Structure 1
Amino acid sequence: MAARGAQGLVLQCDDHRGQAVLTFGRDDVAYLTSDAGAAALDEVARCPLTDASRVADVAAIRSRYAGRSTALIETTLLRRKAAPKLAGLADVSGWLFTDEALQQATAAPVAAHRAARLAGASVHDATCSIGTELAALRSTAAFVMGSDLDEVRLAMARHNLPDVALCRADALRPVSRDAVVLLDPARRSGGRRRFDPRAYTPPLDALIEIYRGRATVIKCAPGIDFDAVRRLGFDGEIEVTSAGGSVREACLWAAPLAVPGVRRRACVLDRAEVVTDADPDDCPTGLPGRWIIDPDGAIVRAGLVRHYGARHGLWQLDPDIAYLTGDKLPAGVRGFEVIEQLPLREKTLRQALSAQDCGALEILVRGVDVDPDALRHRLRPSGNIPLSLVITRIGSGAGERTVAFLCRASVGS
């Protein structure tokens, strides 16, 4: 679309999503951080900008602020979006963001967790962007500084964190010594995700090579191929972290920072549980107990299901499937109490659901090609009691079978 100068606000068309993408320039940041810009932001913040009022609100803002209206509206909406994600990290009501920077920004619980692991260290965030990691680190680190190559995001970081030392620098050209280097390479471009770590910005393979031997912490996408990371030469600890019931990231802790003997770690922040591959993994396989447990995604992603099961006295239904079972539910963990074990035959399932007066039906599937939504539609539960259906494969070869467990989800889940 139209551009407002080389250093001004740019609206581009993202072909992948067909949506307008807002790119801030240096003069936009200068305006938003000026007295006039701050006053305008205060005024725009009073507009609801809801679906019902947006057309009228935008028209009013444009009539008053003309060419600055898009930056003011976008900043206001991003601040509202950032508030729940960064709650507890900092007061972000006056921060500046870009949409892409906010999407990649670390959620507050995860940033706080990493900052706690780095307590007392001198830390250089070499891809600081708009400053979310720095906000967590400044309360735990002995010294903290940030740098970024993107001058617009760096200007935003200066506004967001005026008490933190910042400089413009390329993460591929180290500018610090005797400090832990935190790196968060961009995994999006124009709204598109990049799945190949060599296509990150900066590329992951280049970062690993350039900082080899140094104490580094590199944030990656949770779905990154661990074997591929090892092939790139990384020999430290891979930590997978979940918060709010979702896997948030994989983090590469270089050997100087890794716990000796630990190569994989899962951190479930919601219940402050840590599982590592140094823990015992004597988790047997056996018949279903009273409960079926679907372990937290961080535990599954880190390949630590057996270690978690051994810790809590659970066992596996199948050695290759992540479901665990046992007669006692671990504290604070959602589980499924088995009512009945059934074959995966729709007529049989429909009869069992009717007999149990099933209404809302949750369907969980592992190891079987079943579409939960399509199956739920075909089963047509119409009763009053919410139930769960856990479908999985058990055994292999000639002994392989598919089973369905009709369950009640644990109270409070």
Structure 2
Amino acid sequence: MPYSFTLDDVAFLRSDAGKAALAGCSELDASRIADVAAARRAVGEQRAAAVLETVSLRRKSAGKLESSSDWLFTGDAVQQASATPVARHRAARLAGLAVHDVTCSVGADLIELGRVARVALGSDVDPVRLEMARHNAAVAEVAVLVARADALRPVSRDAAVAADPARRDSAGRRVWRPADFLPPLDELVDAYPGRILSVKCAPGMDFSIAPWADEVELVSLDGQVREACLWRGVSSGVTRRATVLRSDGTQWTLTDSLPDDIPVRDPGEWLIDPDGAVVRAGLVRHYAAQHGLWQLDERIAYLTGDTPPPGVRAFRIREQLPYREKTLGQALKKLDVGRLEILVRGLDVDPDALRRRLKPRGHDESTVVLTRIGRSPVAFVCRAERIPTEGFHSG
């Protein structure tokens, strides 16, 4: 069970004695009995658990939240917090406004809002998380206002509202029905009529159950879809948006305001698997039209063309054949393939099980893309290549 922090714990961890305890225990691991004993000797039985849990949570946050090495967290807060580039992108769309984060937790999103908003207010029902948010904002040197309040009982007027409802029940199990969110999604929306709304949700949610949303935005970071955001009051003619972020600071956005008229044709020189945000936002055809690509099959998200888009991992086709396991094995043997990646879309095939059965033993490396064109299963043996952002010319 995760440690349950108290206000007294937070006060200690923010004190000079607490900071010294955290520094002295920074190399310890709560999963090792000897380290737990060492922490108890160093800081006492009463404080050891809070110190060790904080050390552990800071480690977990390091790859997700920038400059968080001196922050305070709860376990749930680290798990639910948006990665900093994602939070920063969402905040940028609210720049210059007064914004109220009505589920601010320990402040990860609130701090990014505070960097760009005219005024940033954060509120939460949990006093422990609020104290952590105050601490974290001070560490980040960002000016925000913090108040204890129920998200369903507004304490601000006119401000844009940002929210991240909890999507796990009391037992820690993920919930999918918006009525089971905390606070429930429809009640949250009804509490702020006429306001700009930005509501973070899981990317797998059925967005048709949020008819109030003017726009659904899917966001990926370094190729992994991280979240969906439901927007009200910020869009003009856009109902679906895909935003692709990279840790190096580059990003691009695609919306359904762009054309999507593309052909379905035989494969070109390359196969392209669009970013997951594009696929989940239903913008595969828009992406293809923007980059001069076409579809192999109207129902399959793989695209093809003679020149891949810049900055993607694309697959140069070496051989195309009807998918039969024996035939594929023979082709891999002929091409001397030993290291094999298998990608599947539109077929019921377990890539790991197939790889074990194929037993490739050659010296070359290939990617096999298994998909369906019409009713026919097809295998493409490809060479994966990372396409430069600039200066690429198809060979």
TM-score over 0.5 for the alignment? yes
1:183 to 135, 139, 163: 163
CA gap of 1:301–1:63, structure 2 versus 1, over 3 A, is same
Range that drifts further, 281-290 or 270-279: 270-279
Displacement of 1:62? 2.1
1:329-361 Cα deviation digits (max 9, x unpaired): 100011111111112211111111111111111
Counterpart for residue 383 of structure 1 = 362
Contact 2:213–2:230, Cα closer than 8 Å, also in 1: no
Displacement of 1:115? 1.6
2:3 is paired with a residue of what secondary structure? strand
RMSD: 1.5
Name the amino acid aligned to 2:378. Answer: V
Distance (whole Å) between structure 2 residues aligned to residue 264 and residue 133 of structure 1: 22
The reply to whether residue 25 of structure 1 matches residue 2 of structure 2 is no
Displacement of 1:50? 9.0
Contact 2:30–2:56, Cα closer than 8 Å, also in 1: no
Counterpart for residue 3 of structure 1 = none
Displacement of 1:116? 1.4
Displacement of 1:323? 0.5
Contact 1:100–1:188, Cα closer than 8 Å, also in 2: no
Displacement of 1:161? 1.4
Distance (whole Å) between structure 1 residues aligned to residue 210 and residue 361 of structure 2: 48
Identity %: 58
1:336 is paired with a residue of what secondary structure? strand
Contact 2:199–2:231, Cα closer than 8 Å, also in 1: yes
Counterpart for residue 236 of structure 1 = 214
1:405 to 380, 384, 391: 380
Distance (whole Å) between structure 2 residues aligned to residue 55 and residue 68 of structure 1: 16
Name the amino acid aligned to 1:157. Answer: A
Contact 2:312–2:387, Cα closer than 8 Å, also in 1: no
- Counterparts of residues 28-67 of structure 1 (less than 5 Å): 28-45=9-26, 47-49=27-29, 54-64=32-42, 65-67=44-46
Counterpart for residue 311 of structure 1 = 290
Displacement of 1:66? 1.2
- Counterparts of residues 125-204 of structure 1 (less than 5 Å): 125-162=101-138, 163-189=143-169, 190-204=171-185
Distance (whole Å) between structure 2 residues aligned to residue 338 and residue 94 of structure 1: 49
Distance (whole Å) between structure 1 residues aligned to residue 99 and residue 282 of structure 2: 30
2:217 is paired with a residue of what secondary structure? strand
CA gap of 1:273–1:411, structure 2 versus 1, over 3 A, is closer
1:278 to 241, 254, 257: 257
CA gap of 1:79–1:329, structure 2 versus 1, over 3 A, is same
Contact 1:124–1:181, Cα closer than 8 Å, also in 2: yes
Counterpart for residue 240 of structure 2 = 264
Distance (whole Å) between structure 2 residues aligned to residue 327 and residue 236 of structure 1: 36
Displacement of 1:402? 0.6
Contact 1:390–1:404, Cα closer than 8 Å, also in 2: yes
1:335-394 Cα deviation digits (max 9, x unpaired): 111111112211111111111111111111111100111101100111121100101111
2:57 is paired with a residue of what secondary structure? helix
CA gap of 1:85–1:235, structure 2 versus 1, over 3 A, is closer
The reply to whether residue 327 of structure 1 matches residue 302 of structure 2 is no
Unaligned runs of 5+ in 1: 1-19
1:86 to 57, 61, 65: 65
Displacement of 1:108? 0.8
Displacement of 1:63? 2.8
Q: TM-score, normalised by structure 1?
A: 0.89
The reply to whether residue 341 of structure 1 matches residue 341 of structure 2 is no
Q: TM-score, normalised by structure 2?
A: 0.93
1:106 to 71, 82, 88: 82
Contact 1:126–1:181, Cα closer than 8 Å, also in 2: yes
Distance (whole Å) between structure 2 residues aligned to residue 48 and residue 380 of structure 1: 43
1:41-63 Cα deviation digits (max 9, x unpaired): 11111x25397xx3322221123
Aligned residues: 379
Displacement of 1:275? 0.8
Counterpart for residue 250 of structure 1 = 228
Name the amino acid aligned to 2:379. Answer: A
Distance (whole Å) between structure 1 residues aligned to residue 13 and residue 213 of structure 2: 44
Counterpart for residue 351 of structure 1 = 330
Distance (whole Å) between structure 2 residues aligned to residue 289 and residue 70 of structure 1: 59
Contact 2:242–2:277, Cα closer than 8 Å, also in 1: yes
